[in-house]
Structure 1
Amino acid sequence: MQLHNRQISENISHENVDDSGRVDVIQIDALLGAARRQWIVVAICIACAVLVGVAVATTSVPLYTATSKVLMDRNTNQVVQQLSAIGSVLDDESSVLSQVELLQSETIGLAVVDKLNLSNDAQFMADQSSLLGSVVGFVRSVVNVSQWFSTQEESSAAIEAKRRSALWRVLKNVRVTRVGRTYVLEINYTSPSPELAARIANGIASEYLVDKLNSKFDATRRASVWLQDRIDELRQKAMETDLAVQKFRSANGLVTAGNALVSDQQLSELNSALIVAQSDSAKAAAKLDGIQKVISAGQSDAIVTDALDSSIVNEMRKKYLAASKLESEISTRLGAQHIQAIRLRKEMEEYRRLMFEELGRIAESYKSDLAIAKARETSLQDSVAQATGVSAVANETQVQLRELEREAETYKNLYQTFLQRYQEAVQQQSFPVTDARIISNASPPSSPSHPRKMLLLAAFCVVGAGIGTGIGAFREFRDRFFRTGEQVRDILGLEFLGIAPLMNDGLRMSDNAAESNPRSIRKATEVTNYVIDHPLSAFAETLRSAKIAADLGISEKECKVIGVVSTLPGEGKSTVSINFAELLASQGSRVILIDADLRNPGATRAIGRHAQEGLLETLLDGKSPKDCFLYNARTGMAFLPAVVKHRVPHSSELLSSVAMRKLLSTLSASADYIIIDLPPLGPVVDARAMASRIDGFVYVAEWGKTARRVVRQTLDTEPMIRQKCLGVVLNKVDQEKMNLYRSYGSTEYYYSRYSEYYQEKT
């Protein structure tokens, strides 16, 4: 859980996890807190930016912008298009934007410079800055003097340089925009002189129209010259190709009748006749086949078309049917063997024989018709084959003929087209119509357009606010110190015991409060006795929280050995140790305070300045600790100082020695609490060496000064101290600034309500 909290604090510090587990992407409280903390930086940046903006606004030369408008006239464009398709302007987006670029081109700019003689206009060539303008004017006068002695070539080069300089100024100050989605182009020119701005804006519009006319005239003139050469060439080509077609026809006998060759017409007619002959042959063959099937089958009832047309067959058939009917009646009444029935059956056989003889004669006529149709078909096939060969040869030759005809037709069409274009180009040279016109001339503006002071100040305010916000964000990002109890829990995974605030009179909970002068000594005494003088203060409540943590965390021991440590020197651990021991003693407990910081004994300097003997004498010389104790008259607390008369290089060995273990064992028999002021963990290893002798640690971190990373790294390298750590006390807390780091629902947020139970002064 501690590792999870630490990961949330380090990796998603901009996210807020509420009670339901939902993660808010934007931590509004953190943003508001950062704004409260950094508003002074932002305000200073805005004030500086406003001052700079005021200076810029008051010192800038006023500039005037004159505007003229040009319309891309579509009606005129249609008239021109009717006259010629050359030089017209299309009404699409790209064409309009191209006209914008043309208005800002060097061609128009140089034309305006030459027309208005801007290169020799002192007002135009002067710089906008008065001081810089004076310097430039002086340099220009020196150059003009030097030109008196120069050659003609050098003078021409100087004139061209002045033209280019004037062109650069024109192009720098001109701006052409399209008005919405219309065909109106707005020409804006900015200058310190309103009259000059109007003159140049109108000059650009006028020269634009002149350039349009000149470009169209040049285009039509060049087109006319080119078209004339092409027309002469095409005329000759058209005559040559037409003559080649006629010669080819005569040489290959390609005689035409109408739009087709004679051989093709003959082949078409023969094919038609062949189709008819083939149809006749098929019809004759079908008739012959049908009548032969009837004859071979002997079916007298079969119907043959040509047999029905025969009077003989029809007569025989009628007689046959009449005899058949009579024979059927007699056979029914008198019997099949009656003499009349037999006679009638013989007549029927005769009639049938006569009908088939007639059908045979009809079949012979069908054979004759089929032979005639076949002969005609064969003759036509021979004629078609002969005509096809002639036509194939003619078609092969006609391929070349058609190619010659296409070439001749192409040259003929090109000649007519170019001749028409040439006539249009000649007409357009004398037709001065352009597809643009001026719809609004520029007039000298009455008020300057730059600088816009309010807008400039607003822009500087925005820039200042942006810079201030960036600096504030950087400061917030670089704030790597402990500010709240939540940071202690999330980053270190330890219990937060409370805060030790700054004193109202400016005293700080530090280890070096005592100095040699009396005033410093008096202040040090007030600090070391603070919990006694202010038992209802927030500091006293923090130390009571540490006592409860010790009682609950080390409940199995009669005498609790508590070490007070910090990461860096000067974080106030000695002051916390003294006040913690005095608080415990004031509550009736037997308390012994030991100053184990043999390198920098801050507790001894604070409350044992006149001691002659202490911890070193007890460990090294075997003196009784009771002979070295200093007692607090108000609380009865026993204090074993560290009187360092010379440097002790082996302090860690002393603290982890057997003598130190025996000393703690001896003192435990006569005390309820032993408070040990240990050296800081960062610079020395003394506290690590003595960690096994300590039942619990109270960790002191300076608010707003000690980096979170160094504390976390120190505890990560000291697992025994982390395991035995009772909690963390934030020392030297500026309560007014701490309010800026509060978030909704945190301990700091309700601190103003907690303070009703605190009383800093008695």
Structure 2
Amino acid sequence: MDLVDAEVFLGVVHRQWRAVLACVVGAAILGLLYILATVPLYTSKFSVLIDRDNSQLVEQLSSIGATGDNEPWVLSQVELLRSETMALAVVDKLDLSNDPDFTETEGSLVSSLVRTLGSIANVSQWFVSEEATDEAALRRQMAGDTLLANLAVERVGRTYVLEISYASPSPELASKIANAIGEAYLVDKLNSRYDATRRAGDWLQDRIAELRQKALDSDLAVQKFRSANGLVAAGSTLVTDQQLSELNSALIMAQSNTAMARARLQRIEQIIASNQTDAIVTDVLSSSISNELRQKYLDASKRETEIAARLGESHVQAVRLRSEMAEYKRLMFEELNRIAESYRSDLEVAEAREKALSDRVSESSVVSASANETKVQLRELEREADSYRNLYQTFLQRYQEAVQQQSFPVTEARVISRALPARLPTYPRKALVIVLFCFLGALAGCGVAAVREFRDRFFRTGDQVRDVLGLEFLGNAPLVTGNQAVPLADIEDPHMVRKISAVSNYVIDHPFSAFAETLRSAKLSADLSLVGKPCKVIGIVSTLPGEGKSTIAVNFAELLASQGSRTILVDGDLRNPGATRALARHARAGLIEVLLEGADARSLLVRNPQTGLSFLPTIIRHRVPHSSDLLASSTMVGVLNSLSRDVDYIVVDLAPLGPVVDARAIASHIDAFVFVTEWGRTARRVVRQILSTETNVRSKCLGVILNKVDMTRMKLYRAYGSSEYYYSRYTDYYQEKA
């Protein structure tokens, strides 16, 4: 399918290239005229770099800072350069509204015409009085509009470089305006920065006063809350918390002393209860009385042991010593009881002190818990006070920076290159204009070619015949011309053919032509389709008059006769006998006399002695309204039967199928039809409709001959790979050129 489509496309290009070329040439001429009529414009460029590192005031004045996406910001700078404010600033600076070089040379003839038509179309200006119009303001506005119309601002790639271009018929004026726009942009950046800093300073000053008051109020609220709730602080800690901590420490010490006193008392009471003389406590060792009594007890015990060992235990001295020892022991335990009483007194004192401290700790804990609940509100007030204090310090610092920025203006744009007068015009671009016009001309040519192809509703190739009609294509009959009479023997004999044009004898004069080959194809098709019939009756028909069917009929009959076949040509077109005019204008009677008056058909035949062709003419002396009835009559059948006894072919030249019904009337008596269609003149739809209604003709149709083919133009319709293409490649070897 792609190959077929490509072939069709190439075929269209082959046929319509002249129309496309004509459109391209016309468009190129229009392009040249446009170039000649257009005022050349010179463009000057001014480049500026947006250097955002020079100043970061916005980021310094705002805790949010700049966004990461700089694309909208750069595009905003582009729109600023294109704004009406910048244009009017340049107009005022250079006084362009009163500059004749600017007002008279800006724009070409076409643009001036467009502006004039626009002013006429502006209905709102029709009713404005001249007194109410400020002429100076109007000129200023028009100058600004003209400046914007010729101004172009572009971003260079993804960089921060902006390129300002201005086009003007004057290169000096273009460079001057481009430089003025760049300078106006830099001044505008300085002014906008100063205004922004000044507005920020004023705003910060108001906020600083407000924050100062709020910071004072919040600090005062903290102090009042402390006083109202007794939250006295010692450094960073409340006094109640500090007292509670000290009381807890004293209570722990008191509990330790009480435990120690209780342990000493229990120990000494254990010694007294067990009557242990050798067990001592620390205070006994430090007591001189206890040590002296113990020494005496030990001395008495030593002597008692010696005396008892020497004199016996019953000795008086031994008894006395034992009595002393008992007294010493009693005195020792009395001393221990006295020490125990001292320990008991110390324990009571320690327990009393511990209880007092415990009570005070309990009281302080209640007070501290209440103070901690109040401290929650205190901390909230302190945080609020700290926030206002920090904000106040921050805004005060930013205000000082803003004041410094006002005295040190820095712009975030700087000049890269200034505009210079251009040496060559940048508009119109002659090569581009020519190419564009040629491209548009090619498009227009393609449109014209498409329209011509769409409107081509005629038969051009054999493939169209097969696809549209579903009939066999017999061949192309080239367009032939000839006005010279054909000399024949005995030309004065009334029974001899008298040809008035060489066209009627073309197949005899050019036996190797494509015309003759097409008629041979028709004969072959008839022979193959009508096998076994002793006489073949073949009708030659067409859709409309003037398609050359009579010429085809005469030459077809001559071809059959020249090949030795006994052939009779009958002019069956009772309305317009074209074959009779070509062969026998001198005849006095013909087919009508046979049908109406019963004349002998054989006696009325005229002959061509060169080929042996017999011809039954039709002589019209007056119009015959019932020609179809005559052709469908039994008399006509008898005529055909009578003529077919001694011949091989009867060729009947019939009337066209479209205007009259004669061919339909005789169709049942015709063995086969050859359909003739004029190449490039007869619409395919008409032929298809005629054949769809004439079923008898279609069913007996041997095929279609395309007549009057322009072989030079026919080459344009031969698609590569088609039968016509291969046919045309080899016809020159076997056929003579027409």
TM over 0.5: yes
Match of 1:463 in 2: 440
Residue among 33, 41, 66 paired with 2:11 = 33
Residue among 20, 39, 42 paired with 2:20 = 42
- Aligned counterparts, 1:339-358, within 5 A: none
Deviation at 1:115, TM superposition (A): 0.3
AA matched with 1:695: D
Unmatched runs of 5 consecutive residues or more in structure 1: 1-14, 16-22, 139-149, 271-382, 508-520
AA matched with 2:184: E
AA matched with 1:619: L
* Distance in 1 separating the partners of 2:654 and 2:519: 17
Alignment deviations for residues 502-545 of structure 1 (CA, whole Å, 9 cap, x no partner): 227699xxxxxxxxxxxxx9995211111122222211111111
- Aligned counterparts, 1:159-174, within 5 A: 159-174=136-151
Match of 1:756 in 2: 733
Match of 1:502 in 2: 479
* Distance in 2 separating the partners of 1:732 and 1:646: 31
Residue among 692, 698, 705 paired with 2:674 = 698
Q: In the alignment, does 2:573 pair up with 1:597?
A: yes
Match of 2:279 in 1: none
AA matched with 2:597: D
Q: What RMSD, in angstroms, separates the aligned Cα atoms of the two structures?
A: 4.1
Deviation at 1:208, TM superposition (A): 0.3
AA matched with 1:438: V
Deviation at 1:755, TM superposition (A): 2.2
Alignment deviations for residues 185-208 of structure 1 (CA, whole Å, 9 cap, x no partner): 111111111111111000000000
Q: Secondary structure at the match of 1:726?
A: strand
Unmatched runs of 5 consecutive residues or more in structure 2: 117-127, 249-360, 485-496
Deviation at 1:130, TM superposition (A): 7.7
Match of 1:483 in 2: 460
Q: In the alignment, does 2:3 pair up with 1:24?
A: yes
Distance change in 2, residues 1:420/1:506 (3 Å):
farther
Q: In the alignment, does 2:184 pair up with 1:207?
A: yes
Match of 1:105 in 2: 83
Alignment deviations for residues 235-270 of structure 1 (CA, whole Å, 9 cap, x no partner): 33444455556656666788999689989x99xxx9
Q: Is contact 2:498–2:583 with CA below 8 Å preserved after alignment?
A: no
Q: In the alignment, does 2:590 pair up with 1:620?
A: no
Q: In the alignment, does 2:560 pair up with 1:587?
A: no
AA matched with 1:468: G
Distance change in 2, residues 1:135/1:550 (3 Å):
closer
Distance change in 2, residues 1:400/1:573 (3 Å):
farther
> Which structure has the bigger radius of gyration?
2
* Distance in 1 separating the partners of 2:581 and 2:239: 135
AA matched with 1:67: K
Match of 1:76 in 2: 54
Once the two structures are aligned, what percentage of the paired residues are identical? 60
* Distance in 1 separating the partners of 2:431 and 2:367: 98
Distance change in 2, residues 1:675/1:77 (3 Å):
farther
AA matched with 1:168: D
Deviation at 1:585, TM superposition (A): 1.5
AA matched with 1:218: D
Q: In the alignment, does 2:116 pair up with 1:116?
A: no
Alignment deviations for residues 610-652 of structure 1 (CA, whole Å, 9 cap, x no partner): 3343333333333332244333332232223333334334333
Alignment deviations for residues 58-102 of structure 1 (CA, whole Å, 9 cap, x no partner): 332221111111011243145885688899897722222221121
AA matched with 1:503: V
Q: In the alignment, does 2:39 pair up with 1:54?
A: no
Match of 1:305 in 2: none
Q: Is contact 2:591–2:619 with CA below 8 Å preserved after alignment?
A: yes
Q: Secondary structure at the match of 2:90?
A: helix
- Aligned counterparts, 1:240-639, within 5 A: 240-244=217-221, 411-503=388-480, 525-639=501-615
AA matched with 1:754: T
Q: How many residues align?
A: 600
Q: Secondary structure at the match of 2:438?
A: helix
* Distance in 2 separating the partners of 1:261 and 1:498: 128
Greater mean deviation of Cα atoms: 580-589 or 645-654: 645-654
Alignment deviations for residues 282-313 of structure 1 (CA, whole Å, 9 cap, x no partner): xxxxxxxxxxxxxxxxxxxxxxxxxxxxxxxx
AA matched with 1:589: S
Q: Is contact 1:84–1:425 with CA below 8 Å preserved after alignment?
A: no
Deviation at 1:549, TM superposition (A): 0.3
Deviation at 1:109, TM superposition (A): 0.6
Distance change in 2, residues 1:212/1:624 (3 Å):
same
Q: Is contact 2:459–2:682 with CA below 8 Å preserved after alignment?
A: yes
Distance change in 2, residues 1:398/1:81 (3 Å):
closer
Q: Is contact 2:499–2:584 with CA below 8 Å preserved after alignment?
A: no
* Distance in 2 separating the partners of 1:39 and 1:630: 51
Q: In the alignment, does 2:720 pair up with 1:744?
A: yes
Q: Is contact 1:482–1:703 with CA below 8 Å preserved after alignment?
A: yes
Q: Is contact 1:501–1:733 with CA below 8 Å preserved after alignment?
A: yes
Q: Secondary structure at the match of 1:699?
A: strand
AA matched with 1:158: E
Q: Is contact 2:483–2:500 with CA below 8 Å preserved after alignment?
A: no
Q: Is contact 2:602–2:643 with CA below 8 Å preserved after alignment?
A: no
Greater mean deviation of Cα atoms: 676-685 or 94-103: 676-685
Q: Is contact 1:77–1:89 with CA below 8 Å preserved after alignment?
A: no
Q: Is contact 2:215–2:389 with CA below 8 Å preserved after alignment?
A: yes
TM-score by length of 1: 0.70
Match of 1:301 in 2: none
Deviation at 1:492, TM superposition (A): 2.3
Match of 1:654 in 2: 630
* Distance in 2 separating the partners of 1:53 and 1:665: 74
Deviation at 1:754, TM superposition (A): 1.5
AA matched with 1:213: L
Distance change in 2, residues 1:741/1:530 (3 Å):
same
Match of 1:512 in 2: none
Q: Is contact 2:168–2:174 with CA below 8 Å preserved after alignment?
A: yes
AA matched with 2:615: F
Deviation at 1:707, TM superposition (A): 2.4
Deviation at 1:693, TM superposition (A): 2.1
Distance change in 2, residues 1:678/1:736 (3 Å):
same
Greater mean deviation of Cα atoms: 122-131 or 107-116: 122-131
Q: Is contact 1:86–1:220 with CA below 8 Å preserved after alignment?
A: no
Distance change in 2, residues 1:181/1:505 (3 Å):
farther
* Distance in 2 separating the partners of 1:173 and 1:587: 84
Deviation at 1:404, TM superposition (A): 5.9
* Distance in 2 separating the partners of 1:529 and 1:552: 26
Distance change in 2, residues 1:233/1:610 (3 Å):
farther
Q: In the alignment, does 2:645 pair up with 1:669?
A: yes
* Distance in 1 separating the partners of 2:100 and 2:189: 30
Q: In the alignment, does 2:68 pair up with 1:93?
A: no
TM-score by length of 2: 0.72
Q: Is contact 1:126–1:137 with CA below 8 Å preserved after alignment?
A: no
* Distance in 1 separating the partners of 2:35 and 2:152: 22
